[in-house]
Amino acid sequence: MEKNLLIGQISDIHFVNKNEKLFDKYDTFTRFEQTIKTCNNLEKTPDLYIISGDLIHDNETFYSDFFDLCKGLKKPVYPMMGNHDKRNELKKYVKSDLIDQHGYLNYTISNHSLEIICLDTAIENKIEGTIPKTSMMWIEEKLQKTPNKQIIIFMHHPPIEIGSVLFDHIKCNNGNEFIQLISKYQNVKEVIFGHVHCFFEKIINGIKFSSCPSASIQYPIDAKSDKNIQLDTDGYIKMIDYNQGEISTKHVSINN
């Protein structure tokens, strides 16, 4: 196995078709085209891409165009469920080994020196998230079987509050149980989530918890209410660089 791995993380695209706009305002179709172009122009190309939820915005017919565009990334693409995704339709576009026996998009990427665990936290047609009992058992089994590799866990909903009145009430509702579980394993190094459309980072029990900002729009973390919010239309790709046992991250702006 190679000792280095570069992961490109894209999150919360909220893709809509070419003739539509998100919230009648944001052209997320063009933004995803720009995202792919930015990825292909990076100085160092990621070995794989993880798209950590809210691939599309509510309408399952958007997946066809979305995955057609994904082919332009020219590297393996690993999609995840978000609260705006449609699980049954999304599963038609992913390989069967990315779906667990209960129908959730729980999977590992194990053919690297760094172990990657992707966890499905979506409750379909609800905004908040959860980790079902079967998924909690699944992740515990994976952790028990992987004692000798460093581990990063990707999930859509944050398992913790980030200090946002917009998102803290719609986080993963059993995040404390999840944190208690993973804290037993010293080789779990990072948990990276989407959903919150902003930058966040915190260390808990020696594990780094951080967000991947949206590729499309950002919400102010310090907003006092959901009224008259001024959104930031800059988009970002998160780069996770595993090099000789060390993990570093940075954010790359998507070129318009």
Q: Is the pTM of this model over 0.95?
A: yes
Place of tokens 């944001």: 26
Are 83 and 90 in contact, with CB atoms under 8 Å apart?
no
Looking at the 3D structure of the chain, how many domains does it have?
1
Q: Say what the pLDDT of residue 226 is.
A: 85
**Gap between the Cα atoms of 45 and 74, Å rounded:** 10
Query: Tens-of-pLDDT digits for all 256 residues of the chain?
Result: 667 999 999 999 999 999 999 999 999 999 999 999 999 999 999 999 999 999 999 999 999 999 999 999 999 999 999 999 999 999 999 999 999 999 999 999 999 999 999 999 999 899 999 999 999 999 999 999 999 999 999 999 999 999 999 999 999 999 999 999 999 999 999 999 999 999 999 999 999 999 999 999 999 999 988 888 999 999 999 999 999 899 999 999 998 6
Q: What secondary structure, in 3-state letters, does 98-129 show?
A: HCCCCCCCCEEECCCCCEEEEECCECCCCCCE
Interstrand relation of 236-243 and 246-253 (parallel, antiparallel or unpaired): antiparallel
Continuous segment of H or E residues that includes residue 77 = strand 77-79
The token pair that represents 71 in the structure block: 């082919």
* End-to-end alpha carbon distance in the chain: 37
Strands (E), 197-254: 201-204, 207-211, 236-243, 246-253
Q: Say what the pLDDT of residue 1 is.
A: 64
Q: What is the CATH number of the domain that holds 207?
A: 3.60.21.10
The token pair that represents 62 in the structure block: 């958007």
Q: Say what the pLDDT of residue 103 is.
A: 98
Tell me the residue range of the domain where 71 lies.
4-253
The token pair that represents 76 in the structure block: 């393996």
Identify which of 6, 62, 71, 25 has the alpha carbon closest to the alpha carbon of residue 216.
25
Q: Say what the pLDDT of residue 2 is.
A: 66
